[in-house]
Structure 1
Amino acid sequence: MDAALSPERNTVRPKRLPKQRGRIRLRTIVFIRWIAVAGQLSTLLFVHFGMGYPLPLLWSLATVAALAAVTVGAQIRRSASHRLTDRESALYFAFDMVQLSVLLFLTGGLNNPFAILILAPVTVSATTLSYRSTLGLAALAITCINLLAVRHLPLPWGDGGYELAPNFIWGFTISLGLAVIFITSYVYRVAQETRRLSDALSAAQAALDREQSLSSLGALAAAAAHELGSPLGTISLVSRELQREIEADDPIRADIDLLVSQSARCREILAELSRRPEEQPDHFNAMPAPLLIELAAEGHRRPEVALRIEEQADPADPVTPMLPRRPELIHGLGNLLQNAIEFAREEVKVAITWNAAEISITISDDGKGFPKELLDRLGDPYLSSGTDLKKTAERKGDHMGLGIFIAQQLIERSGGAVSFDNNSYGGAEVIATWPRSAFEGASEHD
């Protein structure tokens, strides 16, 4: 398991999803903009008429009207439920930032206490948009802040006006610029982690749903074989009796022979369905742990890699434990076994140990092991190894570590816990442990 987090070591390679249109609906943008229009308009009118401070009212109202006009145009052109692309959302936020900057230019620049609102578009962008769009909006915000620091109309005030000290303005400029950088970096990384976790959990749920669908299909096949057996037996019996009674030279003898052969073929197909225990979860609810390991590894085996299964029984409890054929258990162990088999040199060893309190399955391979610098982060979705940047770049967009994440989530869902380490001879080692209480019902179906 030497490269568990490199592009080659993805235990699950889901299909690439089509590029999504975006995460923000037009309705959300429109709603926020109308709040901005109402807030800006009421503030301008209150300051000019209520407080009696002179404002360039005509230009200020024209700036607010521009925001309202663009918002109305967006509502007319598209449905409110339309989801914006990353580029479209970035353009909307850029316009909002420029409009706010123009309004601040007319009302005192950074002397205006509402200048802090210029951080709002950057914050929303860091939460929802791509890194490129967020970086572009951050650069635009810093540019607007610097321009407002040096060029702006006087702050509306009483007789004599009001102007903050230049040192304070430049300090405020630097603090706003640092706030933009901090928000862009911090909020974006937190939001990205949340998005990745959400996507990975969706992938884990999809894997579990797929296993459950296959299990349901097997149950349906077994039920069909059982239900069709009786009527097919009757058809076969009647056709054979007709075959015995009709002479060989009778014109319909050929049709009767065909009916007998096809009914026999149908019985063989139904018998084949009935002989597949992996497709009959209703009849094989539990099986010995080694057999479950064989079933989970099926489909991942490589001729050049031996799979060795060992049982290490507790002397006080020598009976091999029965494990349930749950889809999450088979798929989770299958992911870990696929990982081990793919990167082993010659052998993968599976040790099954148990006692009265717990059951443990240890999967070891003779590869190079997990990268030491990433051992503590194993189980996080979308990891990539910094020591393999070239290969990572070649496989840009792959789901780094998603297979291990899915395996861990599915095993934990079954009541177990997973730990990762490197074994004494350098290979990787994964230990999955369950309390015996997690499988208490399995033996009842033995």
Structure 2
Amino acid sequence: MSERTDSTAIYRQLLDPAVRPNPYPIYAQVRAGGPFRIGAAPVVIVSSHADCTAVLRHPHASVDRSLTRVQLETLPMATSATKDAVRQAKPSFLFLDPPDHTRLRRLVSKAFTPRVVAQLEPRISAIVDDTLDRVAETGTFDVVADLAYPLPVTVICELLGVPLADEPQLRQWSSLLARTLDPTSRTAAEHQADPGELQAAGTELNAYFEDLTRRRRGNPGPDLLSELIAAEDAGDTLGHDELISTCALLLIAGHETTVNLISNAILALLRHPEHLAALRADPEQAAGVIEETLRYDPPVQMIPRIAAADMRIGDMDIDRGDLVLMLIAAAQRDPAVFTDPDRFAPTRDNRHLAFGLGAHFCLGAALARLEGRVAVTTFAQRVRSPRCAIDPPPYRAHVNLRGPAAIPLDFAEITPRQ
């Protein structure tokens, strides 16, 4: 179906905070209707596994936001502040195509190879045990605040060389800037973050890394930021603006998504105690729990691409400059690919798209998987008789980076670390 009379209403539903606890019935309706265009806007929504895979693999599917006509026609840019924020955005390889994307990714990727990431496991295990030790003493436990958030933010701060004391301020900026990854349109402007706040957060975060970079130049350490500064100083095709934006990207992408992955995985285990018991009995099942969470309740619900040239996906003609919004969370419950797709089944053979495909496959996939596996395994081993005190839990305001804002637990005890 190329256009639906109710397309604007459907899009508003997707952005409505009321559906955040369970958007999957709406995703199923969207997927059943096929790809569609939102009214006259240059925005196409695809939601089947085949269509999303085709877009991710298409040579004309770009991440360069300067190519899209959406900024001028459908984004709620009523204020000059928002327009200035887009214009002033520093180059990030998240929004660059090859060869620039290849160049920047190469400089960063050595810190995220499976071999390097595997060496972090003892430190990740220690962080998880430390967080559970703290809540064992207090008798209260919020999965998000006490486990899912502290783990990845500590890891990415240590990797970058960011002082952990600065974390509360970084968390505020990061949470705001993550909203820029949400879909948006005039039809649903009431669900958007304040443009002035977004601009201020971006400016302040860039200024923070400008200052930290100056300090690291005079006193380098054994961290990724120091390595990137050395690469810039050596003329390794890393510009200063690229350095700053890459740090900001790694901070936001390095923990916002993993917070949701851990939260969503533990919530699924709480709702399916048979799988929690199986994981407690066999820690080797942790990998399957994480992969199934990535399919069943992914931390990133949607992936955008811009048509760098005219494209055809299935029976949908996509014009140059169109924004193509892939509902990955819908594709991963496509019954054409997954048997009984609405069932949480950690032992299934997974072909999920949660990390994307091709050149833009998630750089931090190995780290996210490791953090997730360690978190759910340790939770299963040490937290006895856990029960979600509020179900469904409250959800964060984000549409795309979807996850609970809190998961308060009742539990019998937290056993000593092994």
In our comparison, the structure showing a higher alpha carbon Rg is 1
* Structure ranking higher on relative contact order (CA contacts 8 Å, 6+ apart): 2
TM-score normalised by the chain length of structure 1 = 0.22
TM-score normalised by the chain length of structure 2 = 0.23
